[in-house]
Amino acid sequence: MGELSITASSMDLYKAKSRILLSNLSSFLRELVAHRSAFLGAVVITIFVLAAIFAPQITPHDPTKQRLQLSLLPPFWARDEGDLARLEKQAKREVLKELGELIEIDKDYLTRLEVMSMQEMIAELGKLTEQGRLDRKDLLSLKDLGKKVMVHPLGCDRMGMDLLSRVIYGTRISLLIGILVVGISAFIGVVLGAIAGYYRGWFDNLISRFCDLLLAFPYLIFAILIMVMMGGGFMNMIFALIFKAWVEFFRLVRGEFLSEKTKEYIDAARVAGQNRFKIIVFEILPNIIHSVIVLATLRMGYMIIMEASLSYLGLGVAPPTPAWGSMVYLGKQDIITGIWWTVTFPGLAILILVLSINLLGEGLHDILDPRLKVN
């Protein structure tokens, strides 16, 4: 009988807890929507995340496909006759190449087709269909190919790779770096910070001194040191950034644990017979996790800047893999001649994403930090 009632009450407790959690969550969401700048940040970040996930579906081209004919093609509103001619020539060339693979055509006919305009060529190919030499389905796909090749809304880089596709695919690297570096660093920092802050002693001393050592390096310089040691590439960059990024989380969590530990509810939990692990994870952690979330959001923007900086220095993800920093680096060599688009679009992408993340981070700070609410 007694056991039953305990079970019932713990079920009630569970229900009550989850109800509180739900109402907290919904009130958090309401506050987020009401906080205009944070909400704006969240919306833009969502767009970037969706773009990263659906990059293959929404990009017009393979981001690493090089069309040297289209080298440094300007964005669509800044093109002159020559640029349009280059585009059409490239489209015709790809259509003819595809045609050559579909059916056999003799050289003379090919030369005749080559000098025609795109429109004339499609009309000529229509005749082929009427003669029954070319499938109607193939004709349509050739037409589509021709149209597709002409679509480069933001122009091309020096290697003739489509800028829009590269900017969209570049979102993947930036977001992945931001999420992985911050996520893993926060985890390491929280675990070590909780242990150091709760138990103090030699462990705290050891880790804190190691942090002092790491803090003697400017962040970027340290990341460069590690990357020089391990070589470039995506995984090494994540490692190099985490190597120092956890320190801030460690110091934050350690400090919070030091002050929380002296509060009455900890004594109450101890008297109630909870073990240390439970006190750390279920009593203290929920009370400080909001500051970890705020720090994590703000650091994510910084990590994206660091990734771009390392890629700019040629230490990050190597081209032709699309990453914003290396795109800016490749574009930099042409700016003296007034080629602005190869650097501006990836640069804008970094700025807008980091700006949105920072807006969200500051908004979360306003919403989640109870100390601010009192004021």
Footprint of another protein (CB under 8 A): 212-213, 216-221, 224-226, 228-230, 301, 305, 308-309, 312-315, 328, 332, 335-336, 338, 340, 343-344, 347, 350-351, 354-355, 358-359
C-beta of 128 vs 182, nearer to another protein: 182
C-beta of 201 vs 218, nearer to another protein: 218
C-beta of 199 vs 217, nearer to another protein: 217
287 is written with which tokens? Answer: 């009370």
Minimum Å gap between C-beta 230 and another protein is 8
Helix (H, G, I), strand (E, B) or coil at 156: strand
C-beta of 128 vs 327, nearer to another protein: 327
Please give the single-letter amino acid code of residue 154.
L
Minimum Å gap between C-beta 305 and another protein is 5
Residue 153's φ and ψ, nearest 5 degrees, are -55, -40
C-beta of 47 vs 151, nearer to another protein: 47
Residue 162's φ and ψ, nearest 5 degrees, are -65, 125
Minimum Å gap between C-beta 331 and another protein is 8
Find tokens 């020539």 and name the residue: 89
How many CB atoms are located within 10 Å of the residue 337 CB? 8
Residue 74's φ and ψ, nearest 5 degrees, are -70, 165
Minimum Å gap between C-beta 271 and another protein is 36
HSE-up (13 A, CA, CB side) for residue 297: 22
C-beta of 90 vs 342, nearer to another protein: 342
Please report the sign of the dihedral spanned by the C-alpha atoms of residue 323, residue 168, residue 156, residue 306: negative
Minimum Å gap between C-beta 66 and another protein is 23
How many CB atoms are located within 10 Å of the residue 229 CB? 9
C-beta of 272 vs 336, nearer to another protein: 336
* Ordered alpha helix ranges (H), the chain: 2-34, 36-53, 55-58, 81-102, 107-115, 118-130, 136-150, 163-199, 201-215, 219-230, 234-261, 264-271, 276-278, 285-312, 324-332, 341-368, 370-374
Cis peptide bond N-terminal to 75, omega within 30: no
Minimum Å gap between C-beta 130 and another protein is 52
Minimum Å gap between C-beta 228 and another protein is 6
Neighbouring residues of 163: CB distance < 8 A, sequence distance ≥ 6: 75, 152, 154, 155, 156, 157, 327, 341, 342, 345, 346
Instruction: Choose among 159, 164, 186: nearest CA to 295.
Output: 186
Minimum Å gap between C-beta 338 and another protein is 6
Instruction: Choose among 185, 187, 167, 177: nearest CA to 304.
Output: 177
C-beta of 63 vs 301, nearer to another protein: 301
C-beta of 294 vs 328, nearer to another protein: 328
Please give the single-letter amino acid code of residue 71.
S
Minimum Å gap between C-beta 227 and another protein is 9
CA 374 from centre of chain: 35
